[in-house]
A and B are shown apart, each in its own frame.
Chain A
Amino acid sequence: MVVTIGIPVYPGTNCDVDVYKAVKLAGASPKRIWYKDYKEMWKVDAIVIPGGFSYADYIRAGAIAARTKMTETIKELAEDGMPVLGICNGFQVLVESGMLPGALTVNKSARFICRWVYLKVVRNDTPFTQLYDEGEVIRMPIAHMEGRYIPSSGFNKRLIVLQYADSCGNVTEDANPNGSYMNIAGIISARENVLGLMPHPERASEDALGGSDGLRMFKSLIEYLRR
């Protein structure tokens, strides 16, 4: 079965080609879709919202993209159960559109951070993380200015899928690059079909890039869709 993954492209998105290559490498058929062609999203099996600087991060990162017809369409599809993965700016779009709870705001250091980090896989019972072990420590790069996760009231800790950790998997203050609440790097929706994360799995999809831990995230999703 051919699995088709839709990759929305907003003005200012710049990780769409990287995601395209990683999805292809993982064994699915990727399709980049310009935000005005939102109706094309009805034809895909899952959606990966890539990183970048949609609408130049004006107002708040992801705020304007979150209010486009493309994102409204993605929200409707997610409500019908379609898996949606949001990476970096894609995660910001997911919280701004209300598909995931909370907010992402300026890093504690007030600086743009671009480096590799260690992550602890808190949950491997999701469509996006099933090929990891529970508690496994993986490596991926982060590259963001607004990645500090702020929970909304009544936040459910069960939604945490990935946490910033040290190389041994200890979730410490020192391992928290941006000041996120509870070292949160990635959370899933209550319905468990929408995952947002600040790290870039597509930038860790082959050894030539410095690591391949991210590839399993795409492979997990594809395996889930084939089942």
Chain B
Amino acid sequence: MSRYKAMIYITLKEGILDAEGETVRRALISLGFDVSEVKSGKMYIIEFKCDKDPEEVVEKMCRHLLANPVVNNYKYELEEL
């Protein structure tokens, strides 16, 4: 069984107001930065073992728990350890 590390990024879908991103944008502007857009999101670093296609396993993790298809997009990077 091989070991893998996945870096999973969860963001809000286009068109859904990113309240946290907008708050961060205003805070950065108040600190003097010339910021036009901030998108907030979450990142998970997950180490796991599997004997089949690791991409399929990460897809399942995203679809079953980490991302909500109504509001989220996800992408990931995968490496074998």
A interface residues with partner B (beta carbon < 8 Å): 59-60, 63-64, 67, 96, 102-103, 105-110, 148, 150, 152, 179
Extra 10 A-B pairs, beta carbons < 8 Å, given A59-B65, A64-B65, A110-B19: A60-B68, A67-B64, A102-B70, A108-B17, A109-B19, A148-B19, A150-B70, A150-B71, A152-B70, A179-B19
Return chain B residues, CB-CB under 8 Å to A109. 19
Q: Is B22 an interface residue (CB 8 A)?
A: yes
Pull 24 A–B residue pairs with CB atoms less than 8 Å apart, ordered by A.
A59-B65, A59-B66, A60-B68, A63-B65, A63-B68, A64-B65, A67-B64, A102-B70, A103-B70, A103-B71, A105-B12, A105-B16, A106-B19, A107-B19, A108-B17, A108-B19, A110-B19, A110-B20, A110-B22, A148-B17, A148-B19, A150-B16, A150-B70, A179-B19
Contacts of A150 in B (CB 8 A): 16, 70-71
- Mark contacts of B1-41 with chain A using CB atoms, 8 A cut-off: 1 yes-contact digit, 0 otherwise: 00000000000100011011011000000000000000000
Alpha-carbon distance A164/B65, docked complex (angstroms)? 30
Complex: how many Å from CA A108 to CA B23? 10
Give the interface SS of chain A, mostly helix, strand, loop or mixed.
loop
Closest 9 CB pairs of A and B: A110-B19, A103-B70, A110-B23, A106-B19, A103-B71, A152-B70, A110-B20, A103-B68, A105-B71
**How near does chain A come to B46, taking the closest CB pair, in angstroms?**
13
List B contacts of A110 (CB < 8 A).
19-20, 22-23
Residues of A within 8 A of B42 (CB): 59
List A contacts of B17 (CB < 8 A): 108, 148, 179
Near A by CB (< 8 A), chain B positions 38-81 give 42, 64-66, 68, 70-71
In the bound assembly, the distance between CA atoms of A150 and B68 in angstroms comes to: 11
Distance in angstroms between the alpha carbons of A2 and B42 in the assembled complex: 47
Residues of A near B22 (CB, < 8 A) are 110
| Residue among B23, B42, B64, B70 with the highest chain A CB neighbour number at 10 A | B70
The residue in chain A whose Cβ has the minimal distance to the Cβ of B66 is A59
